[in-house]
């Protein structure tokens, strides 16, 4: 869609070039998710992916989605009209220490921050079809740069993924103070509510449970191409005077930041805390949390996003509060592109991904794009295998397919007390109509937060403010 009023406003504003300070706006999503399943059209196009993701965005999402496909979405759960992009990240499970079974952990809510950093460049809208991956799904070892976040290549190894663990008290601490990362996660020495790897305590901050944070690079290399996710993106470099610029010939796009909150509090009391044996595991089998990662395919109305970049600093009030932007209040859901059980109590992780990391060995977990046959839960058997990051902490992958097959009919996402006993099949999703919902209002950069809107069964009786972890590393 095109908005003439926005285009006119942009024209009146003139060309916006250098920025002297950061501005930002947080994009929220109606309801918890668009869908959930073993789908990854960037890394495993046309195939059942190796592990389960939670997906947000436009309802044209499928195993073969491109940016152009997504622009044809008939609804999106992003709460700003004009954004049909796809956002996804690995799901989380609780590995019951008593039964050995896996229980799906509900997504509490998800936010996507759009930072427009201080720069000498002109920040431009994401081109439709830009595909990005950030984080390393294969790693099971602590980042080489240690437990502090770093997005500036001139300051050492990058660390784009962190865990935030808001708590009512940090006595005892969330992480073992003596941890070196080989057996448990490590706290950020500058922020006791943040670290790398899963914490060893319940994150019991009110309305702020365990949070997985992932930053994306903001320099796009058009010579590499929109879909060459292994090498088409980089982080900007320090240009002095508090600004960071992209290499000559590259395009400076918004700095995208994901935060996914997981409802881990309901498992409190079912595991022994502070013993270096935390029970949560990503869908790829990673018990460490070091493999936190995220994917994005751009499908914005570029005029709308450019207007937001040039004129909006709504911050934590929400992108929907930007002048000239139309709020989307409708929920939007599709059936999972893959017909298998992903929720409830399972005897194995979907795809039969083995547990890996720490006491299970440093096996690289799920690496292929083909589904595994159902079977007994296994453990990574080769501790000599090491994770291999691709480009700037980007997910390792198998070769992309170049053909698109017409998929069979979609079936609905399932929930059960047992794992699926039939192989997964995939299908194009059905667009769905939407019901009105409201969602989260959240502050940013170590400031206060409003409680998110919830369903009737979980809704807090009144709003509450509390401090919680920072969103920007720099």
Three-state secondary structure along 93-146?
EEECCCCCCEEECCEEEEEEEEEECCECCCECCCCCCCEEEEECCCCCCCCCCC
Helix (H/G/I), strand (E/B), else coil: 58:
strand
pLDDT for 273 equals 95
Taking Cα atoms as reference points, which of 246, 203, 191 lies closest to residue 221?
246
How many whole angstroms separate alpha carbon 93 and alpha carbon 105?
Answer: 5
Give the DSSP letter of residue 400: P
Alpha-helix runs per DSSP H in 164-232:
none
pTM: 0.79
User: How far, rounded to the nearest angstrom, does the alpha carbon of residue 316 sit from its chain's CA centroid?
Assistant: 18
Sequence-distant (6+) residues with CB within 8 A of 316 are 26, 441, 442, 443, 444, 447
User: Rounded to the nearest 5°, which phi and psi values hold at 62?
Assistant: -160, -175
Helix (H/G/I), strand (E/B), else coil: 255:
strand
Residues present in the chain in total: 474
The tens digit of pLDDT for each residue in 341-352 reads 999 999 999 999
Other beta carbons within 10 Å of 314: 19
Q: Number of H helices and number of E strands within the chain?
A: 3, 22
Kindly report which listed range (213-222, 251-260, 321-330, 441-450) carries the lowest average pLDDT score: 441-450
Taking Cα atoms as reference points, which of 79, 64, 66 lies closest to residue 111?
79
pLDDT for 295 equals 98
Beta-strand relationship, 414-416 and 341-346: parallel
Element (H, E) at 188: strand 186-188
Kindly report which listed range (80-84, 221-225, 438-442) carries the lowest average pLDDT score: 438-442
Section 459-474 average pLDDT: 41
User: How far, rounded to the nearest angstrom, does the alpha carbon of residue 4 sit from its chain's CA centroid?
Assistant: 32
Taking Cα atoms as reference points, which of 285, 344, 333, 335 lies closest to residue 63?
335
CB 252 within 8 A of CB 246: yes
pLDDT for 165 equals 96
Q: Is the pLDDT of residue 454 over 60?
A: no
The tens digit of pLDDT for each residue in 107-159 reads 999 999 999 999 999 999 999 999 999 999 999 999 998 999 899 988 899 99
How many whole angstroms separate alpha carbon 330 and alpha carbon 318?
Answer: 16
Section 390-410 average pLDDT: 34
How many whole angstroms separate alpha carbon 178 and alpha carbon 2?
Answer: 55
How many whole angstroms separate alpha carbon 171 and alpha carbon 465?
Answer: 21
pLDDT for 363 equals 58
Alpha-carbon distances, residue 329 vs 147, 187, 198, 337, 442 (angstroms): 38, 38, 34, 24, 17
Taking Cα atoms as reference points, which of 86, 70, 88, 69 lies closest to residue 78?
86
CB 256 within 8 A of CB 218: yes
Give the DSSP letter of residue 407: P
Q: Is the pLDDT of residue 381 over 80?
A: no
Which residues does residue 76 pair with via DSSP β-bridges, in sequence order?
Answer: 58
C-alpha triplet 154, 159, 160: angle, nearest 5°:
110
Residue with the two structure tokens 């439709």: 128
């Amino acid at each position: 869609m095109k908005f003439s009023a926005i285009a006119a406003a942009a024209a009146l504003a003139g060309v916006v070039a250098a920025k002297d300070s950061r501005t930002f706006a947080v994009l929220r999503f109606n309801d918890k998710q668009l869908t959930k399943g073993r789908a990854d059209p960037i890394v495993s196009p046309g195939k059942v992916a190796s592990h389960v993701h939670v997906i947000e965005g436009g309802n044209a999402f499928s195993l073969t989605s491109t940016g152009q496909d997504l622009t044809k979405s008939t609804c999106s759960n992003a709460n700003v009209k004009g954004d049909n992009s796809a956002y996804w990240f690995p799901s989380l499970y609780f590995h019951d220490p008593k039964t050995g079974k896996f229980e799906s952990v509900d997504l509490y809510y998800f936010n996507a921050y759009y930072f427009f950093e201080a720069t000498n460049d002109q920040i431009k809208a994401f081109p439709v079809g830009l595909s990005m991956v950030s984080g390393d799904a294969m790693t099971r070892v602590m980042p080489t740069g240690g437990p502090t976040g770093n997005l500036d290549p001139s300051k050492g190894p990058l660390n784009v993924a962190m865990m935030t663990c808001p708590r009512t008290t940090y006595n005892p601490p969330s992480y073992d103070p003596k941890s070196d990362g080989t057996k448990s996660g490590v706290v950020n020495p500058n922020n006791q509510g943040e670290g790398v790897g899963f914490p060893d305590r319940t994150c019991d901050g009110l309305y702020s449970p365990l949070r997985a944070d992932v930053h994306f690079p903001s320099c796009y290399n058009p010579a590499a191409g929109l879909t060459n996710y292994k090498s088409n993106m980089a982080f900007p470099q320090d240009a002095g005077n508090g600004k960071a610029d992209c290499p000559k010939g590259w395009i400076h796009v918004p700095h995208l930041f994901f935060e996914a909150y997981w409802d881990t509090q309901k498992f409190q009391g079912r595991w022994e805390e502070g013993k270096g044996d935390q029970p949560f595991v990503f869908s790829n089998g990673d018990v460490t949390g070091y493999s936190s990662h995220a994917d994005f395919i751009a499908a914005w109305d570029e005029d709308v996003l450019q207007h937001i970049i040039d004129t909006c600093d709504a911050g934590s009030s929400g992108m929907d509060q930007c002048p000239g932007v139309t709020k989307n209040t409708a929920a939007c859901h599709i059936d999972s592109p893959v017909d298998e059980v992903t929720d409830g109590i399972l005897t194995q992780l979907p795809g039969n991904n083995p547990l890996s990391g720490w006491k299970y060995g440093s096996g690289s977990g799920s690496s292929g794009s083909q589904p595994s046959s159902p079977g007994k839960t296994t453990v990574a058997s080769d501790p000599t295998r090491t994770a291999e990051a691709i480009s700037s902490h980007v997910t390792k992958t198998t070769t992309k397919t170049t053909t698109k097959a017409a998929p069979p009919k979609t079936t609905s996402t399932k929930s059960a007390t047992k794992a699926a006993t039939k192989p997964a099949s995939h299908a194009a999703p059905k667009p769905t109509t939407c019901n009105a919902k409201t969602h989260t209002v959240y502050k940013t950069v170590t400031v206060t937060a409003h409680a998110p809107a919830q369903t009737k069964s979980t809704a807090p009786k009144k709003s509450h403010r509390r401090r919680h972890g920072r969103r920007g590393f720099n």
